[in-house]
Structure 1
Amino acid sequence: MDIRLELIGVPVTDVDRAKAFYERVGFHADHDVTVSEDIRFVQLTPPGSACSIALGKGITAMAPGSLDNMQVVVTDIEEAHADLTARGIEVSDISDQPWGSFVYFQDPDGNRWSVQQTTPRGAA
């Protein structure tokens, strides 16, 4: 039996602002559906990912900004850092750890993300 993680809710205060931010990061907007005054569903997917995020109204009880340490993986952390910076995303300096190299950023609500290159820079 396969068990696939395919969708993670991200709690935000302003759906349009969050959608614009994640599109600027490079996520693709797959769906934006208003079901009723109480429910709006926006699904965005990072390039190459099988897992998407969902923003919206009425889709999660989590407090906006409470999502901590969502992680995406890239093959080249320096390229990712340069790309995010060029897109106007405020990112940390590259942090090299024994288990990978990372950059960090937050969305406008404070939901925290890490971008990981699984092989640390300079490792063989």
Structure 2
Amino acid sequence: MDWKIEVIPVPVADVEKAKAFYSEQVGFVVDHDTRTTEETRIVQLTPPGSGCSIVIGAPTGMAPGSLQGVQIVVDDLDAARARLAEGGVEAGTIKHYDKDGGLAEGRGGRWNAFVFFNDLDGNGWVLQERG
């Protein structure tokens, strides 16, 4: 039996601004933008090539900006970081975890290269390069 993560709810303060950030700046594909009630608007977005999407606008029970550490695996960390920069997203430098568990500058070897960035609300994302 397969268990697949399909959707991750992301708590945001402003659905329209978050939709623009994730679609226009980060490059996620808008799967749907649906109003379920006058007050509730659900937007599902998917990273290119991913089998898992995010959803904004859905009640999460979390404060905007409280989601931290969701990792997106990419084949080329430099290209992914450049894509974020082209979209105006502030992304950190490439870092790795050293033998003491702290973050250090540069790549650290197979599967040990990361770039961190936040959305408009402070939700924290991690790009990890596939080794």
Q: Specify if TM > 0.5.
A: yes
Separation of aligned partners in 1, 2:40 and 2:20: 19
Counterpart of 2:79 in 1: which secondary structure?
Answer: helix
In the TM superposition, 1:99-114 aligns within 5 A as: 99-114=111-126
Equivalent position of 1:32 in the other structure: 33
Measured against aligned partners, the alpha-carbon deviations of 1:32-77 in whole angstroms (never above 9, x if no partner) come to 1011123211000000000000000x42111110000111010011
Q: Tell me, which stretches of 5 or more residues in structure 1 are unaligned?
A: 120-124
Query: TM-score if structure 2 supplies the norm length?
Result: 0.85
**Structure 1 stretches of 4+ moved >3 Å:** none
* 1:122 paired residue number: none
1:1-124 mapped onto 2 (5 Å cutoff): 1-23=1-23, 24-56=25-57, 58-95=58-95, 96-98=107-109, 99-119=111-131
Amino acid at match of 2:114: F
- The alignment-based identity, stated in percent, is 52
Instruction: Find the aligned partners of 1:44 and 1:97 in 2 and give their Cα distance.
Output: 31
1:82 offset after TM fit, Å? 1.3
Structure 2: gaps spanning 5 or more residues: 96-106
Distance in 2 (alpha carbons) for counterparts of 1:4 and 1:83 = 27
Compute the RMSD of aligned alpha carbons: 1.1
